[in-house]
A and B are shown apart, each in its own frame.
Chain A
């Protein structure tokens, strides 16, 4: 193709991994006809760390302009509805031997899935938490339904999104340091994003006020989500020393568990019967006292 010829000599083998900084203008003109994006970030760092073979993993991608152009970000959203649905299904059914990145992403990581799954999760947990506390307090006459609590918790949810990007960064950093053809940052974040999908139906089902059901649901969700992550990162990590491999995997699982359980404990509180009764009666007394004046 025209772009390749002007960019570098025609090589049938590895993709043009050295084309990046020289001809950004040409690539911008072409727009985002080819898949790309993840390659851009990966190549920058591979040149820093001198890893040539990692670019082969992502094979065949063309960088699409600098990070200040719109096309660069457009390349992260180069997915169709069918592809997104396939990836979601892949995150729901982790089978041993099926690496999420190799099998579902196939060198086209996207940011649409992780972003909208996080946003949906934010709202579903907030709404579910509100509904569950409303249902559990329905018999309590002094309880006043406070939907406003939704907005206060939104800040915490920014932390959820930030935490998941941070974990993705840590894992990618681990993989990059080991120099074992690690995944690109974007792919790592993508896997984390899709692995959170199982929590959306879980948070909706948590409205049902049975403790045994809730704990069963959260265990099932953690198992599915954790196994997606472990199955994806195990091949990368296992070539390392035994101790480091196990430690990395355990850290991933523990952090993920903390995130899930922390969210659930905070938003789905059902043990507020006794404490909430105490502050309300003094308030009523105070209002009566002030009215008497």
Chain B
């Protein structure tokens, strides 16, 4: 009887799930590695994280249906992009009454609060993606819009006439489309069938609002 019990449970001892889910920073590889990451120079730690962030940027640039963004989520990239976008949207006013753009905190609130609401929405609709994975994807896909903001600032240096407006419109529209396409490429697979549009629409609205903020930015006269 003991043999039967052993045979029944023999298969269970082979199951190990911790190896299949690499956590950011790869801290779960084993005991000797744990010691070595503590002993390694700080430069290496930082470079490893930077490389992870960089590889995700490249994945947003060429969005394929890969799961790298989803598996090794991190929020450094979104934070960096959000801060960059908020800083670029500054400098619109010399005096506080005549704002040419939103406040720094407003951009933060819109980006993070909007991402949280979209994530909650997709989870409520029955999506299988986890909360932070979704935040990670939405944050990284702001990158095209941040690049568009930088381009708009450069264009605005040359003047704010009709030509510059048309150039800015084209750039912002292209980057808005790119952002939406990139984020749906990562998020769409995790939704139950028949509800994909319900999940994509808030993402569309989110990037539309951010694109609108980028497009209507006007520097102080």
Which residue numbers of A lie inside 8 Å of B, CB to CB? Answer: 70, 73-74, 76-77, 79-82, 84, 112, 116, 119-120, 123, 127, 130, 144-148, 150-151
Contact = CB atoms under 8 A, between A and B. Distances in A.
Contacts of B212: 127, 147
A79 B216 contact: no
Interface in B23-57: none
A146 B99 contact: yes
B195 interface: yes
Which 9 residue pairs of A and B lie closest in terms of their CB atoms, listed nearest first? A147-B216, A148-B99, A80-B194, A77-B124, A81-B197, A77-B125, A74-B124, A81-B198, A151-B106
B101 interface: yes
B202 interface: yes
Contacts of B195: 79-81
Interface string B162-204: 0000000000000000000000000000000011111001100
Contact of B216 (A70, A120, A145): A145
A148 B194 contact: no
A120 B117 CA distance: 14
Chain B's interface size range is 20 to 34
B159 to A, nearest CB: 15
B126 A146 contact: no
A120 B205 contact: yes
Contacts of B216: 130, 145, 147
A120 B121 CA distance: 15
Contact of A112 (B99, B102, B121, B209): B121
Given A80-B194, A84-B198, A123-B209, 12 more contacts: A77-B121, A82-B194, A112-B121, A112-B198, A116-B205, A130-B216, A144-B98, A147-B100, A148-B101, A150-B102, A151-B103, A151-B106
Contact of A151 (B98, B102, B121, B205): B102
B218 interface: yes
Interface string B87-101: 000000000001111
Interface of A is mostly: helix
A246 B217 CA distance: 50
A241 to B, nearest CB: 41
A73 B124 contact: yes
B221 interface: yes
B83 interface: no
A277 B102 CA distance: 24
A145 B92 CA distance: 12
A37 to B, nearest CB: 11
Contacts of B106: 151
A123 B103 CA distance: 18
B213 interface: yes
Most chain B beta carbons < 10 A, residue from A80, A82, A84, A148: A148
B214 to A, nearest CB: 10
Given A81-B194, A81-B198, A123 B217 contact: no
A281 B103 CA distance: 26
B196 A81 contact: yes
A145 B205 CA distance: 23
A283 to B, nearest CB: 9
Contacts of B221: 144
16 contacts: A70-B123, A74-B126, A76-B124, A77-B125, A77-B126, A79-B195, A80-B194, A112-B124, A120-B205, A123-B205, A145-B218, A146-B98, A147-B101, A147-B102, A148-B100, A151-B103
Contacts of A112: 121, 124-125, 198
Contacts of B205: 116, 119-120, 123
Contacts of B218: 144-145, 147
A73 B124 CA distance: 7
A146 B96 CA distance: 12
B126 to A, nearest CB: 7
Given A76-B124, A77-B125, A112-B125, A147 B213 contact: yes
A81 B221 CA distance: 47
Contacts of A116: 121, 201-202, 205
Contact of A147 (B121, B123, B217): B217
